[in-house]
Amino acid sequence: MTILLPHLAPSALPAPLGGTLVSRLRHPGLDFDPAELAGLPRLALSDRSAADLEMLATGAYSPLTGFVGEADYLSIIERLRLADGTPWSVPITLPVSREDAARLRGRVVLTVAGQDVGWIDVQESYEARKALEAREVYRTEDEAHPGVAALYAQGDYNLAGEVALFDVPRGAFPGHHRTPAEVRTVIEARGWRSTVAFQTRNPIHRAHEYLQKVALELVDGLLLHPLVGTTKGDDVPADTRVKAYEVLLAGYYPQARTLLSVYPAAMRYAGPREAILHALSRRNYGVTHFIVGRDHAGVGSYYGTYDAQEIFSAYSTDELGVQILKFEHTFYCNSCGQLVSPRTCPHDSSHHLVLSGTKVREKLRAGEDLPAEFTRPEVAEVLRAAYTGRA
């Protein structure tokens, strides 16, 4: 049965945030002479900064053209906007030590594993307000929070300026690694006038599948967009997750209406603030709708169950340029015999099948089966093979 809602009428691809999809790709030998880099200072990037460089250069973080300066940094932290008023929720910074901040001027070559990957034209350096950033962006100064721990561990100064990236690092998933421009091309080629994106850093279980398919009743296409950048050490590895997505989509989703494409950003675990970042960047990939469920981008008990949905009230729909689909916690009810939410199920929790991440990992390490009501057997097999192999 197809459900039609007037306020979710199909629409064309949204304009990128700021009106133009940023491109800061500069190819050696085509756009510049590599000899020009000889003698320039160099700066080694962390995994997170390398991911941010790609997101900036490919336009995923449009309208940003580089790591933010102090005015934007403070405005994002305090107002959830760039200094010019554009919605933005998480400062994209290039942290360095005090010594590097003092020595790096002009064009600086950026490196990963000793290889030149891009540059930054340093326009500004300034001291990070780490305590303020932790309180406002992460809503805590507790160093047990992985995002706060990463913030406190990085350099005390930030470099700002426009960037260039020499090549898109397709990495371990070349068949699924697409830039925003490339995703837009696929959407247009398939004729989708409306597309919903789903963000995940975990394997998809039946509750996720339910949300995606409810959303797919409302729009033309689904962009399954798993984050494959740096995550916590106890998260399921990216290669295992991608295998799980592949077997799930092959068996249970309409191929013409789904697209699996990886999202190369690093995870910050900033909860509500990161939900906004995920939505705005997906607009740049060309989607019209974005799913925000329970505790989006959360960790531990730092955020309320639906804080990541409520924070979007800070912006108008026109400002966001993407419609937010808000879903409640979904689970399998043994008495209803199907996937439900608190809106549709009359039974108390004793009737519900809910497995914590810890319990799932315990079962996988022990080689046990996961309930079919919780996850598809093909996905469970991928996960079990990965966990028993590591054990």
Residue 391 confidence (pLDDT) above 60: no
Q: What is the pLDDT of residue 65?
A: 98
Place of tokens 């399921």: 236
Task: Indicate which residue of 79, 202, 257, 361 is catalytic.
Answer: 202
For 249-298, write each residue's pLDDT tens digit.
999 999 999 999 999 999 999 999 999 999 999 999 999 999 999 999 99
What are the structure tokens assigned to 250, written together?
Answer: 């092959």
User: What is the spatial distance between Cα 18 and Cα 29, in angstroms, rounded to a whole number?
Assistant: 30
Using a pLDDT cut of 70, give the percent of the chain over it. 96
CA distances from 9 to 12, 79, 185, 189, 315 (A): 10, 31, 21, 20, 21
Q: Which domains does the chain have, with CATH numbers?
A: 34-165 (3.10.400.10), 180-390 (3.40.50.620)
Q: How confident is the model at residue 5 (pLDDT cuts 50, 70, 90)?
A: very low
The pLDDT of residue 81 is 98
pLDDT of residue 171: 84
Gap between the Cα atoms of 306 and 2, Å rounded? 27
206 is catalytic: no
Cβ(322)–Cβ(168) under 8 Å?
no
> Would you place residue 361 in the very low, low, confident or very high pLDDT band (cuts 50, 70, 90)?
confident
pLDDT of residue 3: 39
pTM given for the model: 0.93
- pLDDT tens figures, 322-335: 999 999 989 999 99
Give mean pLDDT, residues 196-200: 95
Q: Which of 214-218, 251-255, 382-386 has the lowest mean pLDDT?
A: 382-386
State the catalytic residue, choosing from 201, 273, 282, 283.
201
pLDDT band for position 354 (50/70/90)?
A: confident
Q: Is 201 a catalytic residue?
A: yes
Using pLDDT thresholds of 50, 70 and 90, give the confidence band for residue 388.
Answer: confident
Half-sphere exposure of 225 (CA within 13 A, CB side): 28
pLDDT digits (tens, 9 = 90+) for 91-135: 999 999 999 999 999 999 999 999 999 999 999 999 999 999 999
CA distance 64 to 162: 9
pLDDT of residue 389: 64
Cβ pair 157, 111 in contact under 8 A = no
Q: Are 187 and 286 in contact (CB under 8 A)?
A: yes
- Which pLDDT score is estimated for 366? 83
pLDDT value at 143 more than 80? yes
Q: What is the mean pLDDT of residues 171-194?
A: 96
- State mean pLDDT over 206-232: 94
- Poorest-pLDDT segment among 99-103, 175-179, 235-239, 356-360: 356-360
Output 237 or 8, whichever has higher pLDDT.
237
- Average per-residue pLDDT in the chain? 93
Q: How does residue 390 score in pLDDT terms, banded at 50, 70 and 90? A: low
User: What local confidence, expressed as pLDDT, does residue 141 receive?
Assistant: 98
Q: Write down the pLDDT at residue 233.
A: 79
Q: Work out the pLDDT band at 59, boundaries 50, 70, 90.
A: very high
